[in-house]
Amino acid sequence: MNIEGDAYRLTWQDNVISLSGKLSLMLEDYAELESVFEKIIASKPSNLVLDIRNLEYLNSSGIKTICVSLILEAADIEGLGMKILCSNQYTWQKETVPTFEDLMDNMEIFFE
């Protein structure tokens, strides 16, 4: 599955969700991403990888969407492990993504 926005791209394949570009939509415009996350959660995957190594910018509505519609939902699926792949290249990722760890027990965050 692919979604192409004005400045961002989302792909979902083999339990890997990749987000790239700049994601700074208006709050109501995150409905499309929320619905993709819903489908992913409904498929009850045994593991999930969120690859944001090429996500240059994420606004607070995007942070909320990822935390609420993906991570907290994933946290409720028994046995599901989640990995988030990040890049040291982007300051916001270093500052913000580690704070997601308190939302889910079985989560690992990797920087490269």
**Contact positions vs another protein (CB under 8 A):** 22, 24, 26-28, 57, 59-61, 63-64, 67-68, 72-73, 90-92, 95-96, 99, 102-103
Number of CB atoms found within 10 A of residue 30's CB = 20
Q: Give the chain's radius of gyration (CA, Å).
A: 13
Cα dist. 106→5, 13, 51, 69 in Å? 30, 21, 16, 16
- What is the closest distance, in whole angstroms, from the C-beta atom of residue 2 to another protein in the complex? 23
Nearer to another protein, 3 or 72 (CB): 72
Give the closest residue to 71 by CA, choosing from 98, 93, 32, 90: 98
Nearer to another protein, 18 or 62 (CB): 62
- What is the closest distance, in whole angstroms, from the C-beta atom of residue 14 to another protein in the complex? 27
Nearer to another protein, 51 or 73 (CB): 73
Q: What's the sign of the alpha-carbon dihedral 102, 103, 108, 112?
A: negative
- What is the closest distance, in whole angstroms, from the C-beta atom of residue 77 to another protein in the complex? 14
